[in-house]
Amino acid sequence: MAEFSDIQTREIGLKKTLTAGQLGMIALGGAIGTGLFLGSKFAIGFAGPSVIISYLIGGAIALMLMAALAEMTVRHPTSGSFGAYAEHYLGPLYGFLTRYMYWICIVLAVGTEVTAIGEYMQFWFPGVPPLVWVLLFAGALIGVNAMNVKNFGTLEYWFSATKVFAILAFVVVAAWLVFFSGNQDYGVKNWTAEGASCQTDSPACGSP
């Protein structure tokens, strides 16, 4: 098992430039990606109201993992984060695999993000091929990440704040539609209504 002081020494070249506020907002924004909205649409379409249970289970697992990571961060503060912890407690191979598995997840996540952007932009510009938007936003994303840390932190802070405010707005609008709009098509009764989890275009739904 590697001595953690050796790992800290190896990681010492990295500097802490982001503020606590920027880190907090980036952490929130990182959990609210463009793919989340698109993925939620498909999840709700397939599972219906029962998707709430899946989200609760997933949220509980994520909460426990983050609590464990927070404890290790307090015990071993280093810029290497969970890759360094895996290397220290399990061995260099596990540290290597943890770091590269995280890298692969980020690469795949960025792919889903820009793909979702291409689909969303079709609502406003249906005549423009989605590939154009994918390349445009992918280039913008690379440009933002190529900036110095200070400018990156500022931009990410406001981008993440926009996503957080959008989520809050969605919650407020949804609450109004469900509880105050008076429209009988909306309401918690749909959670248990017959066919609530059935997609209208699915063969399993049968004839209307």
User: Cα–Cα distance between 67 and 82 in angstroms, integer?
Assistant: 12
> Is residue 18 domain-resident?
no
pLDDT at 198 over 80: no
Joined tokens for residue 81: 């984060």
> Is residue 155 domain-resident?
no
> Is residue 169 domain-resident?
no
pLDDT for position 13: 66
pLDDT for position 35: 60
**pLDDT tens figures, 8-19:** 777 776 667 777
The DSSP 8-state label assigned to residue 200 in this structure reads T
Q: Which domain holds residue 116?
A: 30-130
> Is residue 54 domain-resident?
yes
**Domain total for the chain?**
1
pTM of the model: 0.64
> Is residue 175 domain-resident?
no
